[in-house]
A and B are shown apart, each in its own frame.
Chain A
Amino acid sequence: MLKTARRCRFRAPPFVLAPKSEAIAFAARLETTAASDRAEDVDVTQKTLVLLGTKKGAFIAESDGQRKGWELKGPFCETWPMNHVVADSRTGTIYAGGGNEWFGPAVWKSTDLGKTWTHSSEGLAYETGKEPVKAVWSLAARNGSLYAGVQPAGLFRSDDGGRSWTHMEGLQNHPTRERWEPGGAGLILHSLVPHPEDEGRIWVGISAAGVFYTGDGGETWEPRNRGTRADFLPEGENYPEFGQCVHCLVMAPGTGERLYQQNHCGMYVSEDGGKEWRSIEAGLPSTFGFPAAAHPSDPDTLFLLPLNGDSAGRYVPDASAAVWRTRDAGRSWQALREGLPQKNAYFGVLRQAMATDRLEPAGVYFGTSSGSVFASADEGESWTAIAEHLPTVLSVETLVTDR
């Protein structure tokens, strides 16, 4: 049985696909893995890894299925800035994408859960004369292929486990390309959501060009931003075809059609693969934030971490930390605060820095700009800090293995 998890994945027999490219499970012994999906099998025989990309290297926090005690390992990848660290659910291979100011972009790879690493950027480049690739910003593994989103925004694919890469030129050939404007972190392709089963379908989020979709494996793309605002544009021009500042795009488990989005300007849900978006920001403390994390099995559950606003410091509202959870697809929201700092908390959480795992109850994790990592083993009801004093956390993903 194949068990995976990605930034957007869903449960669809015979696959178990988790949300975000984070809730990743790999079958160390394929013949024994089917039973381990059940709640009663969540125990110390499982290994839960929280994969952390930081400004100074990759780290891995490790626990068992109960997720009570944690051990931190790292820094890995020669302390390069690592924008996204993910695992391939099929193999347990860990990939880390980033860019070093001296040495440029590369994807690092570990086949032994972080003990040893190799790196490559062969083919991870635009044609001579174009603005060179500066850094890798997002990674996603699907059915033996590995995808990488880069800065300046573009998409690459590897079919040999990250040893060599091919530019998927269709995205850059989109007629709107010359009018894409960079966001605060640059023109970055940070959200990468391949449909877990259909090889042809991929959604990407680009700051600040918006959401784009391909149904033909990357040959042609179309913007999918209808219903999402761009408050930073002149009055009357706030709903363009493209140019929105998407911050995080995730897929709910289930049909493969429901997407959630945290935008610079609001929170949204789509029931049709992004053709139409509907605001779900009512009941939240602000319209601004970066990350979003889907539940591994419940399509109506989503976790957000709103910040106080784009011009108010971009830290948690009132310096009091909370993860906000909906159980009804965004119609109502609940603040989850137990165990989180409730005063003098001046941190933010970046676009790829929150994730769920695939266990039951689902674990939820986020990493802060101030280098703390918080974990919940009960779907956000209570939290503990599992790491502190790390470099700024840029990404959080998970891997659950059966050992």
Chain B
Amino acid sequence: MDTLRNTCRVTVRLPGPLVDLFPGSPRRLEVEARTVGEMIDALNARWPGMRDRLCDTTPAVRRHINIFIGGERARLDTPLRPEAEVFVLTAISGG
């Protein structure tokens, strides 16, 4: 934990269909953030527009996007712990 800024460094795993939309974005990267929402802000800073693909204006994580931390589904206000691994997944949906 960075006590000065109160942020954590976490590992983020991104789904293939998302990185396909943002050339140069990796499937796995590290970011510093305090919450899932801030984590997405950090992603959006690197790849403008990525927030809109993951969140709607409820505001909330999109209905068919799942974000898991430690096996638990997370929300935008879910706090992050140091060294956490955050899985961003596309839900089973389609037709």
- Give A contacts to B, CB under 8 Å: 78, 101-104, 106, 119-122, 124-130, 132-133
Contacts and interface: CB of A to CB of B under 8 A. Distances in A.
Given A126-B57, A132-B56, 14 more contacts: A78-B17, A102-B17, A102-B18, A102-B90, A103-B62, A106-B53, A121-B52, A122-B48, A122-B49, A124-B52, A127-B57, A128-B58, A128-B59, A129-B57
A103 B57 contact: no
B73 interface: no
A129 B17 contact: no
B49 A121 contact: yes
B49 A132 contact: no
Contacts of B59: 128
A102 B57 contact: no
B91 A102 contact: yes
A103 B58 contact: no
B18 A132 contact: no
Contacts of A120: 49
A126 B58 CA distance: 9
Chief secondary structure at chain A's binding surface = loop
14 contacts: A78-B17, A78-B21, A101-B93, A101-B94, A103-B18, A103-B52, A104-B52, A106-B52, A120-B49, A122-B49, A125-B56, A125-B57, A126-B57, A127-B57
A98 B54 CA distance: 16
A52 to B, nearest CB: 19
Contact of B64 (A78, A101, A127, A129): A101
Contacts of B48: 122
B94 A103 contact: no
A106 B52 CA distance: 9
A337 to B, nearest CB: 32
A84 to B, nearest CB: 19
Nearest to B94: A101
Nearest to B50: A103
B65 interface: yes
B77 to A, nearest CB: 14
Contacts of A129: 57-58
Query: Which one of A78, A104, A122, A125 has the greatest number of beta carbons of chain B within 10 Å?
Result: A104
A167 B20 CA distance: 28
Given A128-B57, A132-B56, A102 B49 contact: no
Interface string B26-59: 0000000000000000000000110011101111
Nearest to B59: A128
A102 B20 contact: no
B71 to A, nearest CB: 21
Contacts of A106: 52-53
A102 B95 CA distance: 12
Contacts of A122: 48-49, 52
A122 B18 CA distance: 17
Contacts of B65: 102-103
Contact of B53 (A103, A126, A130): A103
Nearest to B15: A102
B92 to A, nearest CB: 11
Contacts of B58: 128-129, 132
Contacts of B91: 102
A236 to B, nearest CB: 40
Nearest to B62: A104
A74 to B, nearest CB: 16
Nearest to A132: B56
Given A101-B93, A102-B65, A132 B53 contact: no
A76 B91 CA distance: 22
B93 A103 contact: no
